[in-house]
Amino acid sequence: MPLTCQASEILYEDFEFLDCATISISYNQRGIAAVSFTVVSTSKTLLNSYNDLTFGGVSFKLSLRDITVAVIPGTLVYLFQMSMMGFGC
């Protein structure tokens, strides 16, 4: 007799993380950093702040320039593609 499960609701745990493979950092001639990355989340809104980040020992104070939100087709997962600007030290 095969084992079957009858679940009336789908259960999942919420998660949110910065996808490290998407991090891009560049500097203009005045030393202002342009930082972009993608946050993956099960929430329609971000659960965490991404204004104060540290990459490679450099602490960045950032402000949001642009954000694009998309859903991974066939999932409950959102992609937040963020473009930030600020200073790193």
Q: Domain-by-domain residue ranges, the chain? A: 16-88
pTM (2 d.p.): 0.83
Q: Are 62 and 86 in contact (CB under 8 A)?
A: yes
DSSP letter at 85 equals E
Among the listed residues 38, 33, 35, the one whose alpha carbon sits nearest the alpha carbon of residue 22: 38
Question: pLDDT, tens digit, for every residue of 11-58?
Answer: 678 899 999 999 999 999 999 999 999 999 999 999 999 999 999 999
The CA–CA distances, whole Å, from 14 to 11, 47, 78 equal 10, 10, 11
